[in-house]
Amino acid sequence: MDLDTLSLKELKDLQDKVAIAIFDFEKRKKAETLVELKALAQSKGFSLDELLDNGKTNKKKTPVAAKYADPANPDNTWSGRGRKPKWLAAALENGASIENFAL
């Protein structure tokens, strides 16, 4: 194919077709490689996910037990971590002691 004889539109069309062909080729090769890797891992007694984990588990943080509660509304609690809730901050500004809210 002589690229010098093609018009700008024909060159851009060819460029688009080449980009699509490259994308499809890479996608196909990745899928084939993934199948091969899964088979290899399975032949060694592992799953691919297990091998790629690297010991990093998504540990969910467990909630911390409440240390303080609002006597006016026991549903309002605070663990003592992070920003003080508004109900506690307001009570402390009015002269209350944090020990009054301890559970």
Same domain, 7 and 44: yes
Could you tell me if 48 and 7 lie in one domain? yes
The per-residue pLDDT for 35 is: 95
Quick check: is 61 in a domain?
A: no
Task: Give me the pLDDT at residue 70, please.
Answer: 87
Residues 40 and 74 in one domain: no
**Which DSSP category does 101 fall into?**
G
* Residue 83 resides in a domain: yes
Q: Are residues 39 and 76 in the same domain?
A: no
CB contact at 8 A, 72 and 88: no
Structural domain including 37 reads 3-52
Same domain for 43 and 72, yes or no, is no
pLDDT of 21 > 90? The answer is yes
Residue 41 lies in a domain: yes
Q: Identify whether 57 is part of a domain.
A: no
| pLDDT confidence of residue 61 | 78
The verdict on residue 11 lying in a domain is: yes
Task: Using a cut of 0.85, tell me whether the model's pTM lies above it.
Answer: no
Does residue 85 lie in a domain region?
yes
Q: Is 100 exposed, middle or buried (0-12, 13-18, 19+ CB in 10 A)?
A: exposed
Tens digits of per-residue pLDDT, 33-64?
999 999 999 999 998 888 887 666 666 778 88
